[in-house]
Amino acid sequence: MRRERRGSTSRQAPIAPPLGSGRFMFILLAIGLATAILIGRITLLQVIDRPFLQSQGDARTLRHETIPAHRGMITDRNGEPLAISTPVVTIWANPQELPDDAIQRIVLAQALGMTLDDFEARVARFSEHEFMYLRRQMTPAAAQQILNLRTPGVYPQREYKRYYPAGEVAAQLLGVTNVDDVGQEGLELAYQPYLAGHPGQRRVIKDRRGRLVRELGVINEAQPGGELTLAIDQRIQYMAYRELRNAVVENDADGGVLVMMDARTGEVLAMANLPSYNPNNRAGLDPRGLRNQALVDVFEPGSVMKPLAMAAVLESGVVDRDAMVDTSPGWMRLDQFTIRDFRNYGELDLAGILEHSSNVGMSRLALRLSDTAIWEKYNQLGLGQAPGTGFPGESTGSLPAPVRWSRSERATLAYGYGLSASAVQLASAYTALANDGVRLPPSLLRLSEPPQGILAIEPTVANDLLNILETSVAAYTGGRRARVEGYRVGGKTGTVRKIGQQGYTTDAYRSVFAGIAPISDPRIVTVVMVDHPKAGEFYGGAVAAPVFSSVTGNALRLLDVPPDHEVE
């Protein structure tokens, strides 16, 4: 029989008392309150503050980028490019994001072609900004080498850069653009709105470092600039520049101008200027080379005006076509001034006066006319008026009004002194002689149809003068070096004294020639001016006429103009 110990009992785990109703309600309330706060916060962020927060987020990530517009191309009359825009890359940086690591900075500076000191100085100058240029307008390949370094704070920007295939040959006519591809000179400036086009815009998302995350779409497409077709023929332009440069170098001249116009349309087929410059590399640029002297600068034309003044004489009827004029003794005194010829030519007919370029003969004829006859003729030929080409800064020249003119002023006007004109104005005036008396305004752009000209000279008088101009370049005349093998040509030389501080100089001249070819059916009018030749020769027939001969002969062959004269 088993005994049990008194007082002993079996032990069990204590049972926890049930949760009190107060504690349960507290926990439930806390959970509900937390849920309410969370729902309220979500409502605040997603509903009430959503517009503000979204705008702030967009401000940090959403960007509107400009899509650059491709600048319109400039071509010659045959479609050959004269000015084109090529894609380039500009490298920029946020100075506040650039790394502090010295090695990274040295590597970046070397890639940019800068010394570390120059790089640090540049960064310090823009340290309080968020944007600075590192290198402008790099080729895509060169820019990619810098971007491959993956330097923090360095970013690319796509742009366009203007390139001029003809270089210095047509620099003054075309002009240039600045680093932002905006026209600054010449036709680039004149037609800036047309050539520039309209940039577009796109929406993108970028991270805080400015890197593209996603493109959201294009807002506005970029509208490329219009294409500009010029009247010049690049082949003739090259020849004109080459021959003019040779003449300037051989004669040790200060510069020169050549303008060639189509005698049927007034289109400018060539316009060369010296000195010039390379628009693709403007380092060490001579400011004189920027000027388009053919349109902007003017000069006293001298004897090349005599055929135009002779038109007034023939139309007036004061002398017959076969009249003789006594130029003896080779000089004349007028209003205390002495007018001289090269020598005493005696009696000359009208053709002889032009052949020998007699100042005395032209003066005697001018004094037989009314006070305003020659002025009116020059005015009809466009002198003293803007050529109307639209080129920035084109000159009107000077044609003084005939108010109380003295006899000497009337006389000097007849042989090309006392007025000023640009080379383009002279070429336009000569189109009247080549086009049955109809003067054509000059055009720098290719025309779809001939313009409406102005009848400035009676057709019969214009044809008579055209034949006289042919005799002015005969083998025995001062203009003989203007002759072109296989073609009948005509023209007039001019040797003009330059004005110095004490009046007209005796050792500085401009050599001028204005001519037409071929005489049988005129196609081109050319004006050549060489400024201050110092190598010995200075007469227009010796310096400017050979340039006319070479350029005109090549141009006629390029234009497929058949010869009209037997080869001697």
- Residue positions annotated with a catalytic role: 303
Torsion of CA 431, 558, 550, 483, to 10 degrees: -60
Distance between the two ends of the chain, CA-based, in angstroms? Answer: 167
DSSP per residue, 57-76: HHHHHEEEEEEPPPPPPEE-
Beta pairing partners, 160: 87
d(CA 297, CA 396): 10
Contacts of residue 225, defined as CB under 8 A and 6 or more positions apart, other chains included, come to 69, 70, 71, 72, 194, 195, 196, 197
Local structure of 527: helix, strand or coil: strand
DSSP per residue, 309-355: HHHHHHHHTSS-TT-EEE-TTSEEEETTEEEE-SS---EEEHHHHHH
If we measure between CA atoms, which residue out of 390, 393, 79, 77 comes closest to residue 262? 77
d(CA 206, CA 61): 5
Estimate to the nearest angstrom the gap between the alpha carbon of 136 and the chain centroid.
Answer: 22
Local structure of 530: helix, strand or coil: strand
Residue 242 DSSP symbol? H
Strands (DSSP E) along 412-548, which ranges?
A: 438-439, 454-455, 490-500, 503-517, 524-531
d(CA 110, CA 122): 14
Q: Kind and range of the H or E element at 203?
A: strand 200-206
Burial class of 489 by CB neighbour count within 10 A (0 to 12, 13 to 18, 19+): buried
Residue 19 DSSP symbol? P
**Could you give the angle at which helices 359-368 and 407-414 cross, rounded to 10 degrees?**
120
